[in-house]
Amino acid sequence: MARPTTASQADGATRIEPIRVAVADYAGGHTHTVDVPPLKEFASNPRVKSVPVDTGFIVLNPVTYPTFLRFLDQLNVPLTKSDMSFAVSRDLGEFEWAGDTLMTLFAQTRNLVDFSRDGMWIMLWDVLRFHWVAAQIADAADKVTFSPQTASDDDRTLFTKYKDMSIGDFLIEGAFSPSFRDNFLVPQTAAIWSTPAGSCIADFPILRLISFFRNHRMLQLVGRPRWLTVALGSREYVKRITQQLPDVRLRTAIRSVTRIGRADGRVSVNLTDVHGSEQTFDHVILATHGDISRQLIQDPSTEETEVLSKVRYTKNRAVLHRDPALMPKTRATWSSWNYLTSTGKDGRSDSSDVCVTYWMNRLQPFIPRQTHGDIFLTINPLYEPDPTLVIDEYEYDHPVYDFDLVQAQEQLHTISNKNGIGFAGAWENYCFHEDGCTSGLSAATALGATPPFDLHLNGGYPTHRKLQEPVPGFPLVPNPDEYLSSLGHLLPVGYTLNSRKHAVTARPWRPRTRHVVDMSVWQVALQTLILIIGHVTPKALVRQLPRASADCFLDQSRAG
């Protein structure tokens, strides 16, 4: 919030006096660190202290969090290495896999010989096919969005085709298997955005998902970014921010935001809090959930009502505990993120809620297992953990990422910074910390503040493609040094990207007239694996692979 300009500033300079107002008894919102005591046998040891554990924001990386990393660098916030791995556990361990290694992928050895439509091999086949298909769509979207002069008619057609398509429609059109849908794509989407499986299938825009996967190097098998976490918990960076703010008010919910006309034709904004206190400002930034902003504004314009009503949230319950029953049954598959699900009566994943267990010891390596045990954070537990092992629980709101939200993002410029009110929040983009940071800095810049570093807003589009030149066809690994430069002491000593020795420098942009994929290469590879295993004949496998389904997406009219 910016206070009214005084008469002594008649030269036109803007005086910004920030005031941070928070509803909770702590500042940070989803940046919520709690202290977890040691195990009972160490409780009487004065040398064993409580350990900080994050229950909201946990990890970041230098590839897709460039603005936030530079912001932390300004605050001299220490970071440490983290780990990002993913596992799926269905029906109390009936079907499980983890993506760490081939051993964890086939931790259940029976999956080696499961060639059904619900099995492991058809899932892997569709994963490879999805990577190729998504890379082509991402290339077309990048060119249409950022280099329209290089986009061909085919690129524009492809972009238009998928711009308004949901994940469910995409899976149907591409004839992707139930195993790929329920054991790979939907679990990852639901876990990332804390969204029920049913909503992912019906409402999530496939083009936004593909762009996100491309940005995070999730369409390639090597060269994925290494992850980081704030040393001693994310509250460390919140502390450094609040120490620099002159006025931070906790437990002070705002009840109403009212515009007041002034004699000079300008507008002031009046805030009334739950204590009945009123204050007037030149400008107010509503860094709140979009639906809350709509409720606060007492005299919203038609445009404000239309845009903000499209931003919706779901409540998710987070339980911090030590009960391993809410982890995969196969110990070898335990990962940083563990998606737990059950099969509904229709044969699909239960669509009511998303359930993910974060293994906090692996995500935040400063949590010692010897003295504090395994600590888990489960979102919407499928079943209740042992109450004697529960540490605490919390409730968080997460945006519903659907076509309405995308439309609200595209229309936001029509209402932001109009008549004394601006908006900021992670909901303005992909709904993550990078997006909230960029949004906040943009809102401050609009008031005349000078950011501490150059902002790369990418034209407001939800992508980080400005970090590298687009790579046609199958996504290659860009030069890791590009992301490590200018970060200085921010990264830990010895930090390198995963599989850096295999990294390939990104090629410069080259117009591409066609993208032909010979899917038979992968069929031969899978047949060879089957021959090695020796349990079924190659013909049995070929009969179950959707040989022609890739034709729905890829132009195979010409050989090459």
Question: What is the predicted pLDDT for the residue at 142?
Answer: 84
For residues 503 and 48, what is the distance between their CA atoms, to the nearest angstrom? Answer: 42
Helices 206-215 and 153-163, axial angle in degrees (round to 10): 110
CB atoms within 10 A of CB 410: 13
Q: Would you say domain 1-560 falls under CATH 3.90.1580.10? A: no
**pLDDT of res. 528:** 57
Residue 529, pLDDT score: 59
- CA-angle at 322, arms to 318 and 325, nearest 5°: 90
Angstrom distances, CA of residue 392 to CA of 88, 361, 444, 547 = 25, 17, 36, 50
Mean pLDDT for each 10-residue chunk of the chain (560 residues)? 34 55 70 94 90 95 87 89 94 94 94 90 94 91 85 93 95 95 95 92 94 86 84 91 79 86 81 87 90 92 95 95 97 97 71 87 93 97 96 95 93 90 91 89 84 64 37 31 42 41 33 41 55 48 41 36
CB–CB of 280/356 below 8 Å?
no
Rounded to 5 degrees, φ, ψ at 522 are: -75, -30
Which pLDDT does position 193 carry in this prediction?
A: 95
Q: What is the pLDDT of residue 245?
A: 78
Half-sphere exposure in the Cβ direction for 528 (13 Å, CA)? 6
Q: Which two tokens stand for residue 488?
A: 């200085």
Residue holding tokens 């040094």?
481
Torsion of CA 51, 68, 394, 53, to 10 degrees: -10
Note the pLDDT of residue 246.
76
pLDDT of residue 55: 96
CA–CA distance, 79 with 74 (Å, rounded to integer): 13
Gap between the Cα atoms of 46 and 99, Å rounded:
40
Say what the pLDDT of residue 424 is.
92
Domains of the chain by residue range: 1-560
Measured CA to CA, the distance from residue 420 to residue 442 in angstroms comes to 15
The Cα 70–Cα 490 span in angstroms is: 8
In 3D, which of 97, 176, 100 has the Cα closest to residue 133? 176
Length of the chain in terms of residues written? 560
Q: What pLDDT is attached to residue 508?
A: 37
Residue keyed to tokens 């739950």 = 274
pLDDT on residue 331:
96
